[in-house]
Amino acid sequence: MKAQSILLLAIFALSAACSRTRPVLIPEISPPLAQEEVCTWTGAPAWDFLFPCVNGVGWIDAAGKIVVCDVETKKITEVYAVPFVVTVPPFLQGDLLVLQDKASDRLLIYDLAERSLKFDASGLGARQVLGVDADCLVYHDSGQLSVNFWKRSGAVFRSEEKAERFFNCFFSPERILILTPERLRTFRKKSGRFESEPLPQPAVSPFLFFAEHLYYGAGERFLVKYSLEKKKLIWKLKLGQALLRQPLAFAGTIVASPEDRNLLQVNRRGSILWWQGLGSALSFDLLPMNENLAAVLLNRKIKFVDPRRRQVTPFPGAARLLGPPLAWRGDLYFMACEEGTCRLLRLGNRYGVEIELEPAPVRWAGSSLRFFVSTQNLVEPSWECVILDAQGEAVFSRSMKGEGKTPLVWVPPQAGTYIIRVRARGLNRDVQKEMSLQVLDARQVVPRFYLHF
């Protein structure tokens, strides 16, 4: 019995020694939030439209070029010069960017991931682009719906049935679903055939396709669920005001933002799980992030809503947005322009490293100088602190691992200007911080002080 107890304790000790501690997870959004400038440029862009690119955020500048700002190095590079003036708002779906010029009736498709031109054509007559995927472009002109297999030259299919308005479309390998206010259109890719069926409730918003069902705003005050397989209405939920914006699928539920300034989380049975008053109308559609929904409001507040934890993190006093923001890699990016200067701003967690000097009226050579280094929101951080003199030579260095506020002490050997530089690395990102420091020589300053009098 004693031997078994000893063996059991040994197993527990071995498992504890071999078990690896998991890193602390950093929430996608946690207060206090920081709004920082990523890059600046002169001249307003051609369109107030941001899109994600490899390692950066892109837009179309005043000269009609696609440019990208690397969010780490904060450098702007030209990616592609559009061969015409873009006169129609850009359309983005996945990595494919559709650009048009109405005057010349020219349209191109640019792949942002591969940074290559995929399609360039004239004379399509595309009045409104509804969707694009790896081989199809869906658009309409004067109410006629068209599907262009842009990888196959001349493979264009047109619907004989016309409509005054189209909302959005959904792609699958076998079919394309297109919604109008009165009907649901289906295009069969294999046969090239259009099908049409009436909606049980007239649509007033774009639709969400989720688990073989359509969710959309209907009538004056309803969110409805429509079964594509059974071709019938499953349920309709009465709202406070009309739902004009597209519902979202988030955390296995449906999220809707009707015109009554509320956000609703609904399960697939049509029951409200949670609701949140936003306090103001939305300026743009809700932006889905990994853990949150970003709500940009007319009162210049931004609220990050986490339906899983039922938490709301507000950020008051954001800069005046030039156009719709972009949610990318856990941060919110947006443009702001003032007096001919434009800025790309980033809003999110305070990631980085801080240097805090111990307060002192004057710092003297030969006297100890005390400062603190701390990291923020870095997973398993390690950092290196170096102090450089005016010639760029290192006069102090220290490396550390772990979180917390670390005190450091250094004695300046002589007067001069020094730079404290800290480089920190974490599992989630790398950051750097610098601080300039002026050190005086008492033997030179004090005599002049008395001679002055």
What average pLDDT does the segment 194-198 reach?
A: 96
**Cβ–Cβ under 8 Å, residues 451 and 445:** no
What percent of the chain has a predicted confidence (pLDDT) above 90? 77
Q: Give the model's pLDDT for residue 356.
A: 95
Q: Domain 33-349 has what CATH class?
A: mainly beta
Cis peptide before 32 (omega within 30 of 0): yes
> In this predicted model, what pLDDT tens digit does every residue of 154-184 receive, in sequence order?
689 999 999 989 999 999 999 999 999 999 9
**In the numeric block, which tokens belong to residue 376?**
């923020």
CA distances from 179 to 54, 215, 224 (A): 32, 11, 14
The helix (run of H) or strand (run of E) holding residue 18 is helix 2-18
Do the domains 33-349 and 352-452 sit in the same CATH topology, yes or no? no
**Cβ–Cβ under 8 Å, residues 57 and 69:** yes
Partners of 322 in the β-ladder: none
**Cβ–Cβ under 8 Å, residues 187 and 173:** no
Q: In this model, does residue 287 exceed pLDDT 50? A: yes
> In this predicted model, what pLDDT tens digit does every residue of 331-373 receive, in sequence order?
999 999 988 899 999 999 988 899 999 999 999 999 999 999 9
3-state helix, strand, coil in the chain (%, to 5): 5, 50, 40
Listed by start position, the domains of the chain span 33-349, 352-452
Q: Give the model's pLDDT for residue 449.
A: 47
Higher pLDDT, 450 or 117: 117
**In the numeric block, which tokens belong to residue 63?**
């000269």
**If one looks up domain 352-452 in CATH, what number appears?**
2.60.40.1930
Q: In this model, does residue 6 exceed pLDDT 60? A: no
DSSP 112-127: TTTTEEEEEEE----S
Residues for the chain: how many in total?
A: 453
**Cβ–Cβ under 8 Å, residues 422 and 373:** yes
Write the Ramachandran bin of 444: left for phi over 0, alpha for psi from -120 to 50, otherwise beta.
Answer: alpha
**Cβ–Cβ under 8 Å, residues 217 and 225:** no
Regarding pTM above 0.85, the answer is no
Q: In this model, does residue 266 exceed pLDDT 50? A: yes
pLDDT band at 451 (very low <50, low <70, confident <90, very high): very low
Q: How far apart are CA 128 and CA 147, in angstroms?
A: 12
Upper half-sphere CA count for residue 275 (Cβ side, 13 Å): 13
Partners of 357 in the β-ladder: 371
> In this predicted model, what pLDDT tens digit does every residue of 140-158 receive, in sequence order?
988 899 999 988 766 899 9
Closest C-alpha to 67, from 88, 39, 94: 39
Mean pLDDT of the chain: 90
Q: Give the model's pLDDT for residue 452.
A: 42
**Cβ–Cβ under 8 Å, residues 35 and 57:** no
Q: What are phi and psi of 170, to 5 degrees?
A: -130, 135
Higher pLDDT, 65 or 12: 65
pLDDT band at 313 (very low <50, low <70, confident <90, very high): very high
Q: Give the single-character DSSP code of 203.
A: B
> In this predicted model, what pLDDT tens digit does every residue of 364-403 receive, in sequence order?
999 999 999 999 889 999 999 999 999 999 999 999 998 8
Note the Cα 147 to chain centre separation in Å.
Answer: 30
Q: In this model, does residue 41 exceed pLDDT 60? A: yes
